[in-house]
Chains A and B, each alone.
Chain A
Amino acid sequence: MLGRIGRWIDERAHLSELWQAQMVDYKVPKNLTFPYAFGIMAIVAFAIQIISGIFLTMYYQPNVHTAFDSANYTIMKEVPFMWLIRHVHAAGANFFLAIVYLHIFTGIYYNAYKKPRELTWIVGWVIYFVLLVTALTGYLLPWGQLSYWGMVVTAEIPTSIDSAPLIGSLKIGETISIWMKGGYEIGQITLGRFFGLHIWLLPLILLLLVSVHLYLVRAAGISNPEGREIDKKKEGVPFHPYMTLKEGAYVMGYLAVFFFFVFFYMHHFLPPDNYDPADPFKTPAHIAPEWYLLAYYTIFRSIPDKFLGFVAFNLTLVFLLILPFLDFSPLKSARNRPLFFIMFIVLVISSMALTILGTMPPTPTNAMLGLVFTAGLFAFFLSLPIISIIEWGWYKARGGEKQ
């Protein structure tokens, strides 16, 4: 009976043809390593955020007088199992970003941004950027002390433009800051618009971008950890069942770790300070942004000049965007590029150090260290053209194509 229903649908929707073409006849390199699973994990994390988010909107009230209570009383105490949904959403945001960072670093390591995958990288960068904004807007909604003051600080960042030499007098920064908040203070208007952006606009944009990203991955083919394009007929393995099962297993492992945190280790994702309602007249002693922004924050505050700090942290984002054009070496994958590998290590150490420094108080020593690791981060990006030129030399010496 079931089989007949299946056949009936298949004759009309041609699903098995689709499956055959997209999953079985789709050949991928057989030497894909574990880090290639971060992409699918990110998709799972995204799905978790959407599902848990939909349920949260049913009980959350985007109003400055009721937001805190709806999040911490209605959701956490009154409605059955909503505490679980909120835990999933709060921890999920952190896991999502963590996976995205791993995914980005994997892409850098294997040079997955090189021809013909530049566009995949650029769309990925936009996803990352929109994701940061999504996380930022969502963080304001519980209307706790950290939510509020974190946003006060974030909305002040654009005003650094106003301390620039010439353009400073135009007050562009203050204008941006006011447009972010919808007025001079963070209040009902800010909360309302952040709610709208967070639950509708930004997720829809993300959905669209992720689809484009996936399409582009398929269009260019999956990169190879060895750094060469495969002859799909001879060297590829069918996506199903080889990759589906392998990645399925990894995803199960990921979910196990995720739910361990959700049930037993939530205090970092719902910090105690945020269980105090927002008070515009009481700044908490320590306000630092969420961990996924700490590296930028350290760059920003280590540089003694406010405007230069602002430039430096935006430059980091720009470097990331134009990475495919900074690195024009004919070689792919850090496995074949010893010089690149060394600089990649510098990048990893610098970004981790910057993140850790962001949690520490801004003493002069920490500012010094911040500068050192900012230099390390920039050194990675700026060394790429040099390494590329050297590698072109090697490549030609070994009889590679003429440039």
Chain B
Amino acid sequence: METSRRDLMGLAIGGLGVVGVLGVLYPIVKTLAPSAASLAGAMMEVDVASIPEGQVRVVSWKGKPVFVVKLPQGFQWTGKAKEDKNAKLLQGQDAYALIAVCTHLGCVPLWKPQGEAEFNYPVFHCPCHGGFYSPWGDNIAGPPPRPLHVPPQKRDGSKLVIGEPGFVKELT
């Protein structure tokens, strides 16, 4: 009788102790979770209809600048890129997003719809060391070693949703 009551007390106190420790640890560990501000940038919706044809808008996604490119109807591009990885991935899309970070040393390229230097058709031009990219972000010339990264994205009517898998599933 005596001992069983003491055992019960021991169990109850021990149990309360465990609950207390968990109650303290949980919020402490949770303080390390990503902040609300950061998570808010995990998905970006852009209304494509509001971008003029042949123009580029820069938005922010996961803290990185992102180009949203809107191609004119029946867009033809006469240039030639070193690779056609992005072009294949994005073919048939009139609007798409590219990570706006030059794959050479990370500058933000400029959109030149009239062309630049010997390229007299629309290109992205990186002013830092003269890198050139096609409108799909494939590298044409200069030091960039690979095409611009393409974030996951899907199309939802006139909205382009960056950060959700769709016609591009993963960051490439």
Contact = CB atoms under 8 A, between A and B. Distances in A.
Interface of A: 178-179, 181-185, 187, 189, 193, 279-285
Contacts of B37: 183
A183 B34 contact: yes
Contacts of A280: 63, 106
Nearest to A283: B106
Contact of B34 (A179, A283, A284): A179
B34 A185 contact: no
B108 A281 contact: yes
Contacts of B107: 281-282
B52 to A, nearest CB: 26
Given A282-B107, A283-B105, A285-B105, A185 B33 contact: no
Contacts of A279: 106
Given A281-B107, A283-B105, A283-B106, A185 B32 contact: no
Nearest to B29: A179
Interface string B137-152: 0000000000000000
A53 B62 CA distance: 33
B46 interface: no
Contact of B63 (A185, A193, A284, A285): A185
A185 B105 contact: no
B39 A183 contact: yes
Nearest to A183: B38
B35 interface: yes
B106 A179 contact: no
Interface residues of B, number: 17
A184 B41 contact: yes
Nearest to A282: B106
Contacts of B110: none
Contacts of B42: 184
Given A184-B38, A185-B63, A179 B105 contact: no
Contact of A282 (B39, B64, B105): B105
B101 interface: yes
Contacts of A183: 34-35, 37-39, 63
Contacts of A184: 34, 38, 41-42, 62-63
B106 A185 contact: no
A218 B29 CA distance: 34
A185 B62 contact: yes
A122 B39 CA distance: 38
Given A183-B34, A184-B38, 6 more contacts: A178-B38, A179-B32, A183-B63, A184-B34, A189-B35, A285-B105
The 7 closest A-B pairs by CB, nearest first: A183-B38, A185-B63, A184-B62, A281-B106, A282-B106, A183-B34, A283-B106
A316 to B, nearest CB: 26
Interface in B1-58: 32-35, 37-39, 41-42
A281 B62 CA distance: 14
Nearest to B42: A184
Given A183-B63, A187-B63, A281 B101 contact: yes
A310 B41 CA distance: 28
Given A187-B63, A193-B32, A281-B101, A182 B38 contact: yes
Contact of A189 (B38, B106, B108): B38
Contacts of A179: 32-34
Nearest to B104: A283
A193 B107 CA distance: 28
Contacts of B106: 279-283
Contacts of B108: 281
Nearest to B102: A281
A179 B38 CA distance: 11
A178 B63 CA distance: 12
Contacts of A182: 32-35, 38
Contacts of A181: 34
A384 B63 CA distance: 48
Nearest to B38: A183
Nearest to B170: A162
A285 B106 CA distance: 11
A274 B172 CA distance: 29
Contacts of B33: 179, 182
27 contacts: A178-B34, A179-B33, A179-B34, A182-B32, A182-B34, A182-B38, A183-B34, A183-B35, A183-B37, A183-B38, A183-B63, A184-B38, A184-B41, A185-B62, A185-B63, A187-B63, A193-B32, A279-B106, A280-B63, A280-B106, A281-B101, A281-B106, A281-B107, A281-B108, A282-B106, A283-B105, A285-B105
